[in-house]
């Protein structure tokens, strides 16, 4: 069923903001982070030893190829590009949805709002379906990709954040430094992969995309994307997207989050929660000496 828009009320937005603050506190408790560690989250996690410092992955730059309109009321949690259109999963209590969006002008072609008590999270496609996680509800949804009709639900422990897949498994993040693997047929947990930059765990893994044999992962509350080897769990490179949007022009919580890849056109797209723009970018090599 396709549901029309119209959930944007001050009360619901306030509930969503409270949920976002709860998420911040929850992640601090679960990950065991201190305030000082949070303040340093704009950089990949690292140890202080010379050996760990030397093992840090290089940092790549970017070039904006093109900019597109994006719904500034969409709290982007998941983003994919498929068959010429974007599919987007949005969050916040009372405002969570799945959408089919025209890239060129940001027009919402199709939308389904989910239960207003549930905080939606990442999405990915599998065959003719869309799979969506939720934050703290412990439930995921499977939809028919053409009609957005809900086909089934599934359960998991802990939180749901980002979702993507390789050719055999769904790959899920939960805000920690661990990625989980799910069987796409049963949607049961079948494995895990610790993610590290050198010897240091990378906490806050969020929205995911599988690109050319690697996992790309937003790191929550930072301007960085990690390029991760799915075989070793090592960060092979960071993509620093600082400067894409001026944070002074954005509301609270409007952080980088959303990666989509057009395999046919070899195009990489990124956006953020509540961002008014979506960007096609080209990754440039790290600057010399870094």
Write out pLDDT tens, residues 40-97: 333 344 434 444 444 689 999 999 999 999 999 999 999 999 999 999 999 999 999 9
pLDDT, residue 249, reads 87
Q: pLDDT tens, 112-149?
A: 999 999 999 999 999 999 999 999 999 999 999 999 99
Among 260, 255, 220, 216, CA closest to 238 = 216
- Give the pLDDT band of residue 287 (cuts 50, 70, 90): confident
Q: Quick one: CATH architecture of 10-284?
A: Beta Barrel (2.40)
> Binning pLDDT at 50, 70 and 90, where does residue 23 land?
low
Which pLDDT belongs to residue 55?
Answer: 66
Closest of 124, 135, 141 to residue 181, by C-alpha: 124
Enter the pTM of the model. Answer: 0.82
pLDDT for 153-180, tens place per residue? 999 999 999 999 999 999 999 999 999 9
Distance CA 2, CA 187 (A): 25
Angle 147-148-151 from CA coordinates, rounded to 5°: 105
Whether the CB-CB separation of 160 and 174 falls below 8 Å is answered with: yes
* 256 three-class SS: strand
Which residues are registered as beta bridge partners of 259? 270
* Distance (Å, whole) CA 46 – CA 151: 43
The domain ranges of the chain are 10-284
Q: According to the model, what pLDDT value does residue 21 have?
A: 45
Q: How far apart are CA 216 and CA 195, in angstroms?
A: 12
Instruction: Note the pLDDT of residue 38.
Output: 34
Residues sharing a CB contact under 8 Å with residue 161, sequence separation 6 or more, in sequence order: 77, 121, 122, 133, 135, 172, 173, 174, 175, 205, 206, 207, 220
Backbone angles phi, psi at 95, to 5 degrees: -135, 10
Is pLDDT at 226 greater than 70 in this prediction?
yes
């Amino acid at each position: 069923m396709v549901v029309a828009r119209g959930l944007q009320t001050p009360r619901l937005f306030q509930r969503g903001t409270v949920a976002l603050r709860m998420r911040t506190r929850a992640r601090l408790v679960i990950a065991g982070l201190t305030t000082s560690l949070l303040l340093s989250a704009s950089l990949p996690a690292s140890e202080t030893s010379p050996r760990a410092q030397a093992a840090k992955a290089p940092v790549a730059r970017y070039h904006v190829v093109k900019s597109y309109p994006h719904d500034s009321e969409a709290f982007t949690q998941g983003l994919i590009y498929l068959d010429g259109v974007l599919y987007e999963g949005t969050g916040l209590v009372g405002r969570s949805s799945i959408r089919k969006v025209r890239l060129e002008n940001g027009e919402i072609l199709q939308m389904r709002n989910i239960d207003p008590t549930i905080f939606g999270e990442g999405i990915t496609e599998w065959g003719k379906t869309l799979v969506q996680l939720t934050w703290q509800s412990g439930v995921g949804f499977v939809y028919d990709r053409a009609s957005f009709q809900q086909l089934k639900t599934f359960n998991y422990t802990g939180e749901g954040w980002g979702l993507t897949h390789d050719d055999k498994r769904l790959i899920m993040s939960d805000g920690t430094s661990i990625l989980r693997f799910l069987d796409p047929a049963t949607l049961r947990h079948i494995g895990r992969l610790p993610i590290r930059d050198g010897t240091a765990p990378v906490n806050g893994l969020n929205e995911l995309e599988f690109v050319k044999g690697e996992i790309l992962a937003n790191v929550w509350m930072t301007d960085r994307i990690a390029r991760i080897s799915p075989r070793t769990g090592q960060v092979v490179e960071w993509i620093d997207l600082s400067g894409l949007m001026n944070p002074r022009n954005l509301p609270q919580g409007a952080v980088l989050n959303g990666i989509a890849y057009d395999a046919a056109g070899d195009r990489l797209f990124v956006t953020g929660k509540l961002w008014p723009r979506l960007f096609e970018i080209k990754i440039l090599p790290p600057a010399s000496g870094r």
